[in-house]
Structure 1
Amino acid sequence: MNKPSLTLSSDVPEANTEATQDTPSMRLDKDKPAGSKDNGRDSSDDLLDLKGKVESRLLSMWNNVKFGWTVKLKTSFSKESPVWLLGRCYHRKLSPTGSLESSTEIGTEATAQQPIEQIYGEGIEGFKSDFISKIWMTYRREFPTMSGSTFTTDCGWGCMLRSGQMMLAQALVCHFLGRSWRWSPEKPIQNAREFQEDCLHRMIIKWFGDKSSVNSPLSIHHMVRLGETLGKKPGDWYGPASVAHCLKAVMTAASKENYEFDNLEVYVAQDSTIYIQDVYSCCRLPNGGWKSLILLVPVKLGTDKFNSIYGPCLTSLLTLDFCIGIIGGRPKHSLYFIGYQDDRLIHLDPHYCQEMIDVWQPNFSLQTFHCRSPRKMPLSKMDPSCCVGFYLATQHDFETFVNIITSFLIPQGVSANFEYPIFTLHNGSQSSVMDPPNIRYSIYETEQNWVTPNTHDSDTDFESEEFVLV
């Protein structure tokens, strides 16, 4: 029985070569004979298209040179410290004994094939199986142009939107497949349950397909279009709070065309406050039922830089089973944080640019939607603006969240009356407490760092992991 290895590939392009080569290039005119033209198009339109595609490819190549080298850095997971990943704890001491040097790359020559109930607590093998099961959204190139623009790639500006897509995808995985679901790419489908899980897995990815279509209601195209209501346009930078509001808007729009979202609600906390009565109003159904809740809480944990007093609070949130991660990163470099070990955050990075995959083709490749290279970043390097996400499936889950969350929000060693917890809960509704805030103003006030280049940061702050134990 093969297991995923402890050594990860240090070459990102190679890790994705097979999936990229197997997928046809998504040219807008790929089904037309050479030299043919659409009605109303002339040679200048064709030249603009060609120029845009060349610029897109050059930009993505430069981006991959800029960010791809960081995966060759070697750091280590300590065998003495547990690794936390969205509410699950993994520890090297629980792993089977074996040679680390003789291991192979995750997902190529070996994979976790144990039953789901055996994965939790399995140690580093369980961590790897859990990590590669997370849906990875990255920059894409050569997708259909966005409305009102000539963009055929989001390379260079769409990283926070991709991070938001990853957090939303994790919520949908929890909703449709469950937190314990695992993707086993080398294991053939053997029964009806596994076939159904594969269909649901693919359906979730299809919803994020890179085109403006009702069949892909959560695409970056739809997010950018809805972002216009927040004063954004294609090519603009997004911060965590504006992405949270985009996610709510795109899910609201999607629910009008897709019955699968009927029992899902997205609530975005205003001014770092969750109004409990408003959540009840959103989630209660006329028949007495309850909508599952995706709870997004934009916060600002410091002024110009991250206030270290909040570090233990932030990592403790990642130990909660209903946490779906944190979108943040550093100025102009978004990341999706899903776990930690000691004082370093484990994340998925959206900055690697890949060719668009036509997810509506039968049996499309899943390889480029899952990452095999965990990375870590020092908690101290985190930008103070971020957004914490939670998935609460039932009313009981929400009420449990309300009862326990306060103890996670106040830094250790300070009074229970500490004036600045990570976020707060209020028993009433927002309308009964204050006038509705100017959402656009509050977003821009808390996200100035995300639209201002930070010339002092270095990519060496980021680390890739090869699971070398110290």
Structure 2
Amino acid sequence: MQYIYGTFIDGWYNLRFFLISYFQDSEKRLRQIPNNIYILNHVINDDLAVDQKMEKLKSLFEGTIWFSYRSKILQLQYSTLTSDTGWGCMLRVGQMAMCQQIKYFYNLSSSQELTELIQQFADNDEEELSKFMDRNDGDQTIQYKSPFSIQKIVVQTKLELQKSPGEWYKPNDILFVLKYLFRYSKYQKNLRMHINHENAFILSDVISLMFNKNGGDEEWLKEQIEKGQNDEFGVSIFILTRIGLDTCNQEYLKVLNDIMTYPQFQGILGGFPNKALYILGRVGNYYIYLDPHYVQNAQNYQEMENDRSSYTCQSIQLIDSNQLDPSMAISFCVKNALDLLDLWRRLKQTKSENGESFFMALTETHVYYQLAQSYYCVSDEDDFVTILH
């Protein structure tokens, strides 16, 4: 009976996925919007012929690795579940964001490189799970073939957050767990992961990770660049924020639209209320996203070697910016000091142009950073206000 019920639910999700794609007809809409297209760190100029624009967009969209619901997973720890259908959408969005950061930083493009990357997220990893559960956290030499598997995510989420399989994840939940698991990935050698939970970008925090030192400000960063000390590590940055109460503040959306044009922009963990999406970019007032709400069979490490077609989505979908849930995590990737300095200056420029509408606290050093609690301001627009002293 449970199998029949699960099959019915899986079928319903897949039917709904195709119906949304059919009735939305995103390609027709995209052909009619006379704007540049911004997707991850790419710009597709509007002066291109429509067919050329669509061809470039499809190439970039389909080249972004897609993780979706999976069924027939080995039974998850702490439950009887063998699928993440209905509850794992933010988990999958987090996997997509982590995967994109790695792919971008290391410039992974060959078939072998992409296969090895996707294998880091294999759903069935029975061989490694017992080793993971018996691990010694003090041993920093441990590496797993699939450190970001749903099994390891579930185990670590239960241990650290007391959240069981079947419960919905928030952006901070999945990012917290992925940051922990990242230490067991071969890709952590030259890349560091930074999460700010306080709706802020603190330059010194990122410098600390990049140069493995205690802080620094813009002047210090410029000095290092002049000395030729351009990088030590790259940094994957996630800023958790909220740009409204129940709906997005229109002024904050203008700022978000600007941020999505940055060359360091690597997507947003967001979506509708209780429906997580991985937002890749925008065209006009529409956001382009990958939807994890499609059910496929789980694959183990070896199966991925022979077929990774299920990690490519061909259904481009759009969401009107006014439908977006105001709670989100914005991601960037800086490869070196020059990249970090450029991102910092872009953020400062956006802040100077938008004043109070700039929704992110911005400061150079943690020493002078005193973030009062984030207050909900009851006003005509129901703004979410962050006060920086």
1:263-322 Cα shifts (integer Å, max 9, x gaps): 111100131112322222223248x85111000001000011111111221122221121
Q: Show CA shifts across 1:369-420 (max 9, x none).
A: 011110001000000000100111112211221122133357x6x5x3x2x6
Give the match for residue 199 of structure 1: 112
Query: Which residue does the alignment assign to 1:57?
Result: 7
CA separation of 1:142 and 1:80: change in aligned 2, threshold 3 A: same
Q: Does 1:269 align with 2:182?
A: no
Q: CA 1:423/1:139 → structure 2, altered by over 3 Å: closer, same or farther?
A: same
Partner of 2:225: none
- The 3-state SS of whatever aligns with 1:338 is strand
Q: Where does residue 41 of structure 2 map in the other structure?
A: 87
Q: Within the alignment, does 1:327 sit opposite 2:243 as a pair?
A: no
Question: After superposition, what is the alpha-carbon deviation per residue over 1:122-143, rounded to whole angstroms, capped at 9, x for unaligned?
Answer: 5322111111101011000001
Per the alignment, residue 291 of structure 1 pairs with 233
1:169-208 alignment runs, 5 A limit: 169-177=99-107, 181=109, 197-208=110-121
Q: State the distance in 2 between where 1:374 and 1:135 align.
A: 13
Q: Which has the larger radius of gyration?
A: 1
SS in structure 2 at match of 1:336:
strand
- Please name the residue that 2:361 is paired with: 424
| Superposed counterparts of 1:179-258, under 5 Å | 181=109, 197-212=110-125, 213=128, 214-228=144-158, 229-252=160-183, 254-255=184-185, 258=186
Partner of 1:352: 294
Q: CA deviation at 1:235?
A: 1.0
**Is the alpha carbon distance of 1:424 and 1:96 closer, same or farther for their aligned partners in structure 2, counting shifts above 3 Å?**
closer
Listed as ranges, the gaps of 5+ residues in structure 1 are 1-50, 98-121, 182-196, 447-470
Deviation at 1:349, TM superposition (A): 0.4
- Using a 3 Å threshold, how does the CA distance of structure 1 residues 436 and 238 change in structure 2: closer, same or farther? farther
Name the CA distance, whole Å, in 1 between partners of 2:253 and 2:162. 32
Amino acid at match of 1:56: G
Q: Deviations 1:14-56 (Å, cap 9, x if unpaired)?
A: xxxxxxxxxxxxxxxxxxxxxxxxxxxxxxxxxxxxx654443
State the distance in 2 between where 1:409 and 1:348 align.
29
Contact 1:155/1:353 (<8 A) preserved: yes
Preserved contact between residue 157 and residue 163 of structure 2 (Cα < 8 Å)? yes
Give the SS at the match of 1:94. coil
1:221 shift after superposition: 2.0
Q: Cα gap change, 1:433/1:408 in structure 2, threshold over 3 Å: closer, same or farther?
A: closer
Match of 2:71 in 1: 141
RMSD: 2.6
Structure 1 residues 435, 364: CA separation in 2 closer, same or farther (over 3 Å shift)?
same
User: Does the C-alpha gap of structure 1 residues 154 and 292 become closer, same or farther in structure 2, counting only changes over 3 Å?
Assistant: same
Aligned residues: 338
Contact 2:285/2:321 (8 A) holds in 1? yes
Q: Which runs of 5+ in 2 are unaligned?
A: 129-143, 214-228, 377-389
Tell me how far apart the structure 1 counterparts of residues 304 and 17 of structure 2 sit (CA, whole Å): 32
Q: 1:335 is paired with a residue of what secondary structure?
A: strand
Aligned pairs for 1:406-417 (under 5 A) are 406-409=348-351, 414=354, 416=355
Deviation, structure 1 residue 367: 1.3
Counterparts of 1:429 and 1:54, CA distance in 2? 55
Identity value in percent: 24
Q: Which moved more, 1:147-156 or 1:224-233?
A: 224-233
Alpha-carbon shift at residue 434 of structure 1 (Å)? 5.8
The equivalent of 2:21 in structure 1 is: 71
Q: Structure 1 length normalisation: TM-score?
A: 0.67
Structure 1 CA distance for aligned equivalents of residues 174 and 289 of structure 2? 18
SS of match in other structure, 2:122: coil
Which letter does structure 2 place at the counterpart of 1:427?
A: E
Q: Check 1:377–1:271 CA distance in 2 against 1; reply closer, same or farther (3 A cut).
A: same
Cα deviations by residue, 1:205-254 (Å, 9 ceiling, x for unpaired) = 000110343321012222222223123221111122222222222213x2
